């Protein structure tokens, strides 16, 4: 089956980059568009006076933007012209599903290993939620750490 629009999720981890490379290979082979998506958790609420913030504001967003941008680079290396990248606040599964709907994707690619870093979600739950709710095909790419 040939795909015309592919969405892939990444958190910038080594295993997520394996999934991005797999998605990029499929997109390049089919001449499909590719959207690389990275989700991030909202900033924690402000601390009371006299306490120290654990992370800088917008840290999650910045990390997600970097992960998505890195995904675009990997896609270009795989031969995908003009891949798009998006960082969006929210649960990874919801962000992936919304992205797929927004670009009328016919394939969502997720990795099988745990997501870490900015996303703070486990890919097992992400893959499961996406596979149950996706409006299109889902490829759970077997990634290794």
What digits encode the pLDDT tens for the residues 98-138?
999 999 999 999 988 754 444 444 445 788 889 889 999 99
Give me the pLDDT at residue 134, please: 93
pTM comes to 0.84
pLDDT at position 16 over 60: yes
Q: How far is 5 from 96, CA to CA, in rounded Å?
A: 13
Q: What is the pLDDT of residue 128?
A: 82
CA dihedral 130, 131, 133, 134 (to 10 degrees): 80
* Number of domains the chain contains: 1
More confident residue, 40 or 118: 40
Q: 């675009």: which residue's tokens?
A: 72
Q: What is the CATH number of the domain that holds 11?
A: 3.40.50.620
Q: Name 130's Cβ contacts closer than 8 Å, sequence gap at least 6.
A: 93, 96, 97, 108, 110, 138
pLDDT at res. 117: 41
User: Which domain covers residue 81, as residue numbers?
Assistant: 5-46+54-141
């Amino acid at each position: 089956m040939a795909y015309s629009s592919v969405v892939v999720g990444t958190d910038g981890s080594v295993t997520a980059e394996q999934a991005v490379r797999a998605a990029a290979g499929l997109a390049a082979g089919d001449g499909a568009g590719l959207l690389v998506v990275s989700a991030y958790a909202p900033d924690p609420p402000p601390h009371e006076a006299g306490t120290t913030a654990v992370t800088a504001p917008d840290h999650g967003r910045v990390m997600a933007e970097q992960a998505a941008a890195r995904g675009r680079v990997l896609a270009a290396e795989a031969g995908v012209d003009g891949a798009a990248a998006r960082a969006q606040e929210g649960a990874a599964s919801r962000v992936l599903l919304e992205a797929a709907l927004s670009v009328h994707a016919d394939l969502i690619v997720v990795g099988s290993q745990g997501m870490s870093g900015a996303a703070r979600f486990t890919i097992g739950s992400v893959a499961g939620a996406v596979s149950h709710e996706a409006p299109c095909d889902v490829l759970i790419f077997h990634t290794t750490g």
